[in-house]
Structure 1
């Protein structure tokens, strides 16, 4: 257990408070939900916009974490906004749903869950600070900040002056990528390379797919309606299981949309969580079912003996929570980069390993100076190095980096790092004190050891899409929810491990994104959704909590959304992401600016958790990765005559 000596009191009415306490308990803390004597607690978790927070924040005796809807400087501060209202106000709701339909409410309390995960990580950081430096401090976490942190795939368009449209189950830059009907249900199919498209086209054997309209990726994206219709002429001839098996055989990410009530029958869930599956099968889903699913697993890194750990490395005057911690990150896109970004914001020295040509996401548009806004948002404050791990000299350089590292985090396909010579046992021999976190779609021990996974597939197979509907059809959460939540789970597990006394041995942390998605979906299903709906206005939509009268519905159609929201109780406007850049609260409390090595300014996001005395900071955008020069090969020696028998 990582936080076994920690005593926690959770006394706020928000779901985020309850879930944060559950996470801390999973990491070994003892948790109470009713105070007997507050002096007995190390940490108190509250939600001051829902409940009275007493004088705990002013006591200076406890680490007090206050989870609220908006920050204290926000003009809307103090109002107990719900998760659905924050989804609407933050732009999250507008990104979810089909392109020609209305915005859809996300079927899980995404901002509450995200706030719980970030709060747990921030608390673990504060515990580390208290243990090492004796500093006790308050923490503020906002649902609005968590919502904004999930918009990294949509904010780049806003930074470039464009509006990011809803895409339903499609991908704005890849095709085919969608949910397709099968003979007995739905399947998500996601291609990301030309090789995957070629194999899928050959397997489908639909002659029209050879048409010139689909030759290049740009062609396919430009004719995506016709493309999807043709793909579905193939998938509808197959059972979902058969179609999934074909895609797995050819290396294309695919998976069924699993109903939450059928989650216990999903092969990987049943394999990894047999007790939870049996309970769901026998009793259905209730408010405690989610607690049967763990979002991370820990074990010893290896059997290698551990030597005493050197004193923590600190830069002069650096009081950041993770000052002196060294991190190696090997990963692309969202999940592992999100972990590295937050570890860096908390003060760790993070070295990101990129392939020789740099991470693919660097070149996505829009951006500036040859680097994408997406990459900048996910990789602040890191040192970047280009290594080709197929070459022994570059693997040797990585081994050198690992010898002095505290943390390794990666989101490669399970077994990929081991094939390069970095098994758990090898890593333990290189550095017995290492905290190694592996993030994957289905986990190390999986029913699908060869199946690739993308965020969309995990949303489908973890129950998230079944809970999120648009006009009755399952739709993925617009934000990359499975990637983001998986990264947040890894962040908490890593920081909780770093909060332990330094003499502890190396640790292996395993994160399965499907486990995390299922945990979230089961919590939502056990709680049940509150009533509410989106209504169309002259210039967009509003979200209304509860029931809606015909009079209110008629009134909305004739008014702009801001005016309509003000005239109806429990209504808020559904904001587009680009509209946030004109919102004074968003600009003051969420958006920030960083600089790169050339002095150029970049729009970035503040972290959604604020530690009062040792704050996390977002400061810099990395430049091009440093190229590690390999030593030239040794000159060939003159051949030595072979020894021959006389």
Structure 2
């Protein structure tokens, strides 16, 4: 993997630590610079991870010099990046949550915005930085190009808003009722979907189909849920308060385990809201991470507890299958081409996790072929959108070629086999074992392509205590500890953005890039096929343990006349922040005036932005938002990636059209197939 790679971590941001932990997990040797203020010997390392906006001036200047002279790879993780209007300001994670609208999406509709209980922007930046660094290391080894990498917390937080930005894109006026972006633990388009009290805690229950609703209704029993108001989804959404009250009465009479078991028997996504200490007794976590579970029994999470577990697993693709030597790809790569130029990725994904990984692999230069069911991915039709395609689908599937295949049909199976033979990567987020049931288990894939990197993303992993339990982002947030840390008052609340999905996709991206290290460095004959297992619960727990062991500075959401501000003062006790707000007369002021008044008191506050207000934010419009072209030539709002490689940039350009069906329109094996023939 990254054996022999030397990394220096010299920054105080959490993102630097998270990035270093991932690289170390992948085999790199990581050293940490001390806090003496001296300039470390950057030239002695393959790459440096830093946060120049929090560094002393001398260190920041030295980092800038190394970046400018391309002496070594420097990955600089900052709040807003070198080209932003807010450049150089060391905003905290919570302040970035507020500025991007991420905070405004979390909480209950009748309550205030809620700070996410994990430093989401820092964690996300650390994960993207690790992926970008692996790509940059590959470029240096294969092309001799040394380049700087910049990663921004602002871009990471804004990029997580793919379920909220579509409405902002479609909005034509600024009118929006207060709290309209927050739904608590509910789902705006599905019911029942909520957190319900039990005798000993809370349980998340999520239904997404009429069949699941009927199974839940029958499992609960009684006459209350036979009310005609609950017969259709539209009517259930209209009467969701009454519906939730009936389900809460049932759940409140049972234990959390009994509620979860009842739902699992019916194929309904459900699970308990697990506390951080409770992870020690959570069956799936204990099965997969026994050592970390034992540590949590003895003591609360410490700063380094998260390092005792892995957020991904890598195994040989199949035992007993020897990977023959393979020829290196023929033909020169353009100097400015993406790091993955010449590689092919097959994606069988829907919604967020696998599509997110595929999107970034495409931005990094790989040819990504997305396989959809014959009717197309369901998310294509979500509203709002344009020309019959949803903005959500467009945001998550940029720069991919799409093909519709039914893997139960012999002709489509043969086409899939042809694609696998020529692929470097296969990534999917089907139910565990689903691809195997279609005849494409690890052994079959290894027989087709012994060099394949096969990544499977699921809720609980293949080696699981819940082999039949379905999982949605909300359930994983609950069972991974994220909701326990994110609370509105005393009530646990899910992160508004699909945090578990996004973080799972980011972990997959990093693990895939690491698995391609041999190809990225030109050592093709050494790269045997690998199987990458991503459990979204593993990733969520890894992030939650980091947050619990590395608590942030205290702060508070303060109400103003036109919204809220986030007030953060490391010097003040928790109760003192609200006293400062009263002194500044925030309740009677606009957000802008409250920020000014608090500034005069020596307290830095930022407005809690709404997602639609990003459309007027100069940094978002110039540094994050971009324009892509659809297959029909139409223009689409898309998002740039939150990392910048100076000499081999990751580029977002196109939005896919309808998936092709006929053989003539299917993506054909490229000329690269000839270079992939094995050699004796």
Over 3 Å counting, the alpha-carbon distance change for 1:323 and 1:399 in structure 2 is: same
**What residue is the counterpart of 2:25 in the other structure?**
26
**What residue is the counterpart of 2:632 in the other structure?**
598
Does the alignment pair 1:496 with 2:496?
A: no
Deviates further, 220-229 or 551-560: 551-560
Deviations for 1:522-567, whole angstroms, at most 9, x for unmatched residues?
A: 0111112421000111110000003424352361111111221122
In the TM superposition, residue 283 of structure 1 has moved relative to its aligned partner by: 2.8
Deviates further, 372-381 or 500-509: 500-509
Secondary structure, aligned partner of 1:436: strand
Distance in 2, Cα, partners of 1:288 & 1:185: 28
Deviations for 1:593-625, whole angstroms, at most 9, x for unmatched residues?
A: 101011111101010000000000000000000
**What residue is the counterpart of 2:581 in the other structure?**
552
In the TM superposition, residue 629 of structure 1 has moved relative to its aligned partner by: 5.1
Distance in 2, Cα, partners of 1:22 & 1:312: 32
Let me know the Cα RMSD of the aligned residues.
1.4
In the TM superposition, residue 214 of structure 1 has moved relative to its aligned partner by: 1.8
**What residue is the counterpart of 1:281 in the other structure?**
297
Secondary structure, aligned partner of 2:559: strand
Distance in 2, Cα, partners of 1:228 & 1:38: 58
1:40-79 correspondence runs (5 A): 40-51=44-55, 52-53=59-60, 54=62, 55-79=65-89
In the TM superposition, residue 295 of structure 1 has moved relative to its aligned partner by: 0.5
Over 3 Å counting, the alpha-carbon distance change for 1:534 and 1:150 in structure 2 is: same
Secondary structure, aligned partner of 1:141: strand
Normalising by structure 2, what TM-score? 0.91
1:440-479 correspondence runs (5 A): 440-479=458-497
- Verify the 8 A CA contact 2:11 2:50 in the aligned structure 1: yes
- Verify the 8 A CA contact 1:10 1:45 in the aligned structure 2: yes
In the TM superposition, residue 34 of structure 1 has moved relative to its aligned partner by: 2.0
2:618 paired residue among 584, 593, 608: 584
- Verify the 8 A CA contact 1:107 1:529 in the aligned structure 2: no
Deviates further, 161-170 or 266-275: 161-170
Distance in 2, Cα, partners of 1:288 & 1:197: 42
Deviations for 1:183-235, whole angstroms, at most 9, x for unmatched residues?
A: 21100000111110111111111423222222222222222112111111211
- Verify the 8 A CA contact 1:535 1:553 in the aligned structure 2: no
1:504-519 correspondence runs (5 A): 504-519=527-542
Deviations for 1:119-156, whole angstroms, at most 9, x for unmatched residues?
A: 00000110111111111100000000000110000000
**What residue is the counterpart of 2:232 in the other structure?**
216
- Verify the 8 A CA contact 2:558 2:578 in the aligned structure 1: no
Distance in 2, Cα, partners of 1:41 & 1:465: 39
Distance in 2, Cα, partners of 1:536 & 1:206: 43
Over 3 Å counting, the alpha-carbon distance change for 1:549 and 1:484 in structure 2 is: closer
**What residue is the counterpart of 1:310 in the other structure?**
327
Secondary structure, aligned partner of 1:589: helix
1:191 paired residue among 197, 207, 231: 207
**What residue is the counterpart of 1:107 in the other structure?**
117
Distance in 2, Cα, partners of 1:267 & 1:313: 49
- Verify the 8 A CA contact 1:127 1:499 in the aligned structure 2: no
Secondary structure, aligned partner of 1:39: helix
**What residue is the counterpart of 1:205 in the other structure?**
221
- Verify the 8 A CA contact 1:385 1:628 in the aligned structure 2: no
**What residue is the counterpart of 1:539 in the other structure?**
562
Normalising by structure 1, what TM-score? 0.95
Deviations for 1:357-386, whole angstroms, at most 9, x for unmatched residues?
A: 000000000001111000000000000001
Distance in 1, Cα, partners of 2:131 & 2:293: 28
- Verify the 8 A CA contact 2:558 2:581 in the aligned structure 1: no
**What residue is the counterpart of 1:342 in the other structure?**
360
**What residue is the counterpart of 1:264 in the other structure?**
280
- Verify the 8 A CA contact 1:268 1:442 in the aligned structure 2: yes
Distance in 2, Cα, partners of 1:566 & 1:212: 54
Secondary structure, aligned partner of 1:49: helix
Count of aligned pairs: 629
Distance in 1, Cα, partners of 2:27 & 2:141: 16
1:566 paired residue among 596, 600, 603: 596
Deviates further, 282-291 or 342-351: 282-291
Distance in 2, Cα, partners of 1:191 & 1:444: 23
1:376 paired residue among 389, 394, 404: 394
- Verify the 8 A CA contact 1:365 1:372 in the aligned structure 2: yes
